[in-house]
Amino acid sequence: MINAVGRNIPDYLLVNGREVYQGKGYRDGQKVTKASQTTVKHEKPEADKLAATIREACEKCGARDGMTFSFHTELRDGDYVASMVAKVLVEEMGLKDLHVAATSLGTAQNIFADYMEKGIIVEAQTSGVRGRIGEVISAGKMDKPVTIRSHGGRPRAVEAGEVHIDIAFLAAASSDCCGNARGNGGKNNFGSMGFAMHDAHFADHTVIITDTLVPFPNVPCSISAIDVDAVVVVDAIGNPAKISTKEARITDNPRELMMAKNVANVIAALPYFVDGFSFQTGVGGPSLAVNRFLEEYMIEKGITMSFALGGTTSAVCALQDKGLVQKICDTQDFDTGAAAHLQANPTKHIEMDLSQYASAGNKGAFVNKLDYVVLSALEIDTKFNVNVITGSDGVLRGAPGGHPDAAAGAKCCIIVTPLTRGRMATVCKDVVTVTTPGDCVDVLVTDFGTAVNPARQDIIDCLDAAGIKHVPIEKLQEKAYDMVGEPDALEWEDKVVAVVEARDGTILDVVRQVKPFHF
């Protein structure tokens, strides 16, 4: 069946009430009964929940064939914990038919690719797919398609009972002997545990894995011991050099700075740019640099931001320290400065879980209060659909993260991207895979000009009034093709290797197995 972004979704996927994407806000107001966890009564006093090894903790939690386990990826490429756990489950315990529910899958989890190829990990749900795992999935090595969900889509699916986590293995920078755990206060601090907190509330079992055991009680905590079955102390939860950079630096590339300046110009030209406005941006070159230009406009206009949302960098923290940002609502920290800032400013820099951040399945996600979000894209097409999951070769190598959620929630979603990257036309006729639907995207800023979604006449009028030039998006696409040539369409096998779920649970697109190229 063809969905609202023109993608053909195979009928065999449309079972158990699953529908194709119908457009923004389709399920608004619908009722949902929340799934819940099965917990265990710890009625008697107990000294601690320490387990000597990961295996002992797994046995305590009843790890078994066919179970779903989860972990968070706040340690990014530096994460040791997910691989450590998978090795124990597969190689020590010999478990099979495992399901993975991850916030992302990347190079730190390369060992998962082996288990997927061997048919030991049989199902995966994730936001991002990078590294060898993406190559294995795109080559059609798994029998069942992987489900790609946004950061808001994941907690929505968990709360709706579409994903049931048996055991959550959660890395923590510090924990006490009972499992009160945080992302700070240890040897390998990563800051916000926003990716992990929600899992502890919905998984039947939670195991905390830390390298820094601190005296009881480790409070205020991100994960509470009331949800924790076992605590395991390991030598190191991650490689600090890869967990986060020292500081996500603002680019000095003049092309990126020009794009950032143009984004700030658009922001300042719209009626939402008043005292108390709210803002989210990504960590990519031009997106991050927007902070710098926004600061100038805010000081000039004498206004402050009510809240900054999402992944957090030192750049946003610096704005807060200058008194320009009231609250930072932080789901993950991109650099060590931001992680330390979270620890040092508990009343104005707040840790936030993914449901409160971005889920379309609750009554008050923060994305719904966003005025602006500035995001990047691998590709954007003339219908304003964005792809951030598949490369130009059709292989899974990206992550929607909170992209579709923030785009849907914000009053103005701005995509900033160079017109071409090498020979890739970023602005194209049809994106390879739709990860954020065009009905959620309002403005595109490139190094060759700005385009506004024709559905937003109000924004067009504001830019015209401010004297900001813009062109139809087709002009940008034609310019890109003039420079690099029109790309040939990718060739695919029939087999669906991944299902891209929209944030409301409908199906936005599918990714098929890549057909090897032949002349």
Residues in the chain: 519
Task: Report the site for other proteins in 35-74 (rule: CB under 8 A).
Answer: none
Q: Which CB sits closer to other proteins, 424 or 468? A: 424
Task: Report the site for other proteins in 346-385 (rule: CB under 8 A).
Answer: none
Residue 467 CA neighbour count, 13 Å, CB half: 0
Q: What are the residues whose beta carbons fall under 8 Å from the beta carbon of 409, sequence distance 6 or more? A: 358, 365, 366, 367, 368, 369, 370, 373
Task: Report the site for other proteins in 210-249 (rule: CB under 8 A).
Answer: none
How many Å apart are CA 395 and CA 96, to the nearest integer? 26
How many Å apart are CA 371 and CA 453, to the nearest integer? 17
Please state the closest distance from residue 393 (CB atom) to other proteins, in A.
5
How many Å apart are CA 478 and CA 381, to the nearest integer? 11
Q: Is cis: bond before 10, omega within 30 of 0?
A: no
Please state the closest distance from residue 483 (CB atom) to other proteins, in A.
7
Q: Which CB sits closer to other proteins, 230 or 510? A: 510
Q: Which CB sits closer to other proteins, 322 or 495? A: 495
Q: Which CB sits closer to other proteins, 455 or 483? A: 483
* 483 sits near other proteins (criterion: CB under 8 A): yes
Q: Which CB sits closer to other proteins, 10 or 487? A: 487
Q: Are strands 443-446 and 449-452 parallel, antiparallel or unpaired?
A: antiparallel
* 106 sits near other proteins (criterion: CB under 8 A): no
* 461 sits near other proteins (criterion: CB under 8 A): no
Of the candidates 232, 180, 215, 238, the residue with the CA atom closest to the CA atom of residue 51: 232
Which amino acid would we find at residue 54? Answer: I
Q: Which CB sits closer to other proteins, 346 or 485? A: 485
Among 423, 464, 466, 474, binds other proteins (CB under 8 A): 423
Among 12, 44, 252, 519, binds other proteins (CB under 8 A): 519
Among 422, 452, 464, 469, binds other proteins (CB under 8 A): 422
Among 92, 458, 491, 493, binds other proteins (CB under 8 A): 491
How many Å apart are CA 106 and CA 92, to the nearest integer? 23
Of the candidates 80, 137, 74, 81, the residue with the CA atom closest to the CA atom of residue 104: 74
Please state the closest distance from residue 489 (CB atom) to other proteins, in A.
8
Return the structure tokens found at 91.
Answer: 């190689």
How many Å apart are CA 208 and CA 85, to the nearest integer? 11
* 487 sits near other proteins (criterion: CB under 8 A): yes
- From residue 242, give the alpha-carbon distance in Å to each of 44, 73, 74, 127, 400: 41, 12, 11, 20, 21
Q: Which CB sits closer to other proteins, 464 or 482? A: 482
* Phi–psi pair at 350, nearest 5 degrees: -110, 135
* 490 sits near other proteins (criterion: CB under 8 A): yes
289 close to 264: Cβ distance less than 8 angstroms: no
Q: Which CB sits closer to other proteins, 144 or 423? A: 423
Of the candidates 50, 22, 85, the residue with the CA atom closest to the CA atom of residue 176: 50
The 430-449 site mask, x for binding other proteins (CB under 8 A), equals --------------------
Please state the closest distance from residue 499 (CB atom) to other proteins, in A.
22
Of the candidates 227, 244, 223, 203, the residue with the CA atom closest to the CA atom of residue 74: 244
Return the structure tokens found at 440.
Answer: 């959620």
* 493 sits near other proteins (criterion: CB under 8 A): no
Task: Report the site for other proteins in 155-194 (rule: CB under 8 A).
Answer: none
Please state the closest distance from residue 394 (CB atom) to other proteins, in A.
6
User: What is residue 92's DSSP assignment?
Assistant: I
Beta-bridge partner residues of 129: 105, 398
Among 424, 460, 468, 471, binds other proteins (CB under 8 A): 424
Q: Are strands 507-514 and 492-501 parallel, antiparallel or unpaired?
A: antiparallel
- Span of 93-101, 227-235, 444-452, 486-494 interacting with other proteins by CB under 8 A: 486-494
Q: Are strands 167-172 and 128-129 parallel, antiparallel or unpaired?
A: unpaired
Among 65, 91, 393, 474, binds other proteins (CB under 8 A): 393
Q: Which CB sits closer to other proteins, 236 or 490? A: 490
Please state the closest distance from residue 378 (CB atom) to other proteins, in A.
13
* 14 sits near other proteins (criterion: CB under 8 A): no
Kindly determine how many residues on this chain lie close enough to bind other proteins according to the rule CB under 8 A. 16
Where along the sequence are the contacts to other proteins (CB under 8 A)?
392-394, 422-424, 483-485, 487-488, 490-491, 514, 517, 519
